Amino acid sequence: MLFSSLICVIIRFVGEAGASLHTQLAKEIRTVIKEEGGAITLSAINKMSLVKSVVYETLRLRPPVPLQYGKAKKDFMVQSHDASYKINKGQFVVGYQPMASRDPKIFANPDEFVPDRFMNDGEKMLKHVLWSNGRETENPAPDNKQCPGKDLVHLLGRLILVEFFMRYDTFTVEITPLFRAPNVAFKTLTKASK
């Protein structure tokens, strides 16, 4: 269920971004696939910097699991730009990931979908993306609660875009507001030009 909601959010953001982004994605995807001999491989997908950035930006804005919680195992300090907060052992702590990843002191236009935000020097900003219950630059381990499937989620998000833009040039979406998350439906699809 959670991964399917991520697919809808990726399609929503890319659809709303419009034809200019679609053209850029299609060009990057098809060029890399052609250079790699025509096959969709892990090596090829890893060379697609715009595709990577689009999925990271989606995860930054709308993580599949927005709330994280637990009891503190020891006393520690939580620091923001402006203050420090002492958390005592045993206290119940709740974190809202989208708030942490939309800090205007870190991200320019924090509430906007910026497809190329994590390209080139922007990759340094990945340490501030916390969708997986930890920093994107850290790895899951037995002593942390970071999602062990975080790399697979990101890879599958990229694969969805690759497969989509190998078949289609552009599309439009219709967004219908619902209680928890909007419904995203394809309005138009333009098949890939040969």
Binding residues for heme: 147
149, 134, 146, 161: which is closest to 58 by C-alpha?
A: 161
Q: 170 is written with which tokens?
A: 């552009």
Query: Which helix H or strand E contains 177, and what residues bound it?
Result: none
Detail the residues annotated as belonging to a binding site: 147
* Contact status, residue 48 vs residue 28, Cβ threshold 8 Å: yes
* Contact status, residue 97 vs residue 130, Cβ threshold 8 Å: yes
Q: 125 is written with which tokens?
A: 């900003």
Give the integer Cα–Cα distance in Å for 142 and 17.
Answer: 39
Write phi, then psi, for 192 (nearest 5 degrees): -60, 135
